[in-house]
Amino acid sequence: MEIYILLGFVLLLSIFLGLELIAKVPSTLHTPLMSGANAISGIALVGALMLSSAGQMQDILAFGAILFASINVFGGYLVTNRMLSMFKKK
């Protein structure tokens, strides 16, 4: 139980930190920020790798989770990078 309280604390602090960090972003960067954040949500890949393997059903679920999280991670970072490389000041 203590661990949940501790991690719940981490969760709350991170949300407040996130709100502070992003409160004043210029609108030029709204799309790259959203896309970059979207890539970060692919952190679910770490969760997918932590799953256990017991039987075929679990293997299928783990494979699916890894597959889709990987699409999110690779696609998200690449698209963000492509987008940012277009933002240039002349």
Residue 52 near other proteins by CB under 8 A: yes
Residue 5 near other proteins by CB under 8 A: no
Cβ(42)–Cβ(76) below 8 Å: yes
Tokens linked to 56: 């075929």
What is the smallest separation between the CB atom of 9 and other proteins, expressed in angstroms? 10
Closest among 87, 84, 88 to 34, alpha carbons compared:
84
What is the smallest separation between the CB atom of 8 and other proteins, expressed in angstroms? 7
What is the smallest separation between the CB atom of 16 and other proteins, expressed in angstroms? 8
Which residues, other chains included, contact 62 with Cβ-Cβ below 8 Å and sequence gap of 6+? 48, 51, 53
Residue 56 near other proteins by CB under 8 A: no
Q: Under rule CB under 8 A, which residues in 14-43 are in contact with other proteins?
A: 14-19, 21-43
Q: Under rule CB under 8 A, which residues in 59-78 are in contact with other proteins?
A: 59, 61-78
Q: Binding residues for other proteins, how many (CB under 8 A)? A: 80
Tokens linked to 30: 């709204």
Closest among 80, 86, 82 to 41, alpha carbons compared:
80
